[in-house]
Amino acid sequence: MDARGLWVMLCLLLLARCTSQQTPSPKRNGKRDSANSAAIEELKKQVTEIVQELNLLKERQALQTVCLRGAKILGKCFLADPAKKSFHAASDDCIAKGGGLSTPLSGDENDGLLDYVRQSVGPEAHVWLGVNDMVSDGHWVDQLGSGVRFKNWETEITLQPDGGRGQNCGVLSVTANGKWFDESCRAERASVCEFNIV
C-alpha cells in the first residue's frame, strides 16, 4: 500500500473511532462535553503521530526510488545520468523527475558528489551543476535564481570562471578533483539530479 492509501485508511479508522466515542450514552450524558474534548485532544495527538509516520514513509519511498539507485549524501539523494546533453536538456530532465541539477551547498557535499560522480560516471567526468550566470555575467545563481553562496571554482591553474559571456553554466570536474569550471551551456555533459529527502 502506498503512502496515500495508508493515509486514507488511517483517516477512516480515526473517523470511525471518533464517531463511536461521540455516540451519546444515556449513562454518560452529563459528562459528554468533557469526554468529547478529551477525545478531540486524543485525536489531535494521533493525527500528529500519523503525520510523523507519513513523513517517515515519504523518506523511505524517496530512498527506495532514488537513493538505492544513486547515492544519499547529507540529506539529498543524487542520481547520475551519464548521457551527455546540454545544460537546459539536463536541467529539464531533472525537473521532470521531481528534482533539479545537483548543486552542492558545502565542501563536504561537493566532496560526496565528487566521489559519486567518479564512481558512477567516470574518472574524467564533467557534470553540469545547477548554477549559471546567464542573466548577469559574473553573478552566479542557482536554479531558483538565488545567488550561490558556496562556490568551488578552480583558481590555482586557471582562474575560473573565465569564460565571460560565452560560458554561463557551471560544471564539476572529476579530473580537477571536484573543482568547478564555467562552460558554454550548449556543451554536452553528463549530469546528476538531486532530490531533497522530506
- C-beta contacts of 149-152 below 8 A and 24+ residues apart: 149/105, 150/104, 150/105, 150/106, 150/107, 150/110, 151/180, 152/104, 152/107, 152/110, 152/178, 152/179, 152/180
Give 72 or 151: the residue with its C-beta nearer to Ca ion: 151
Interface stretch with Ca ion, choices 77-85, 94-102, 121-129, 132-140 (CB under 5 A): 132-140
Residue 14, burial from CB neighbour count under 10 angstroms (0-12, 13-18, 19+): middle
- Answer yes or no whether residue 81 interacts with Ca ion by CB under 5 A: no
CB of 160 to Ca ion, least distance (A): 10
Q: Does 137 bind Ca ion (CB under 5 A)?
A: yes
Asked if 115 touches Ca ion (CB under 5 A), the answer is no
Residue 109 lies near Ca ion (rule: CB under 5 A): no
User: Could you identify the residue written with the cell 538565488?
Assistant: 146
Q: Cβ of residue 105: shortest distance to Ca ion, in angstroms? A: 21
Nearer to Ca ion, 98 or 164 (CB): 164
Binding positions for Ca ion, rule: CB under 5 A: 133, 137, 168
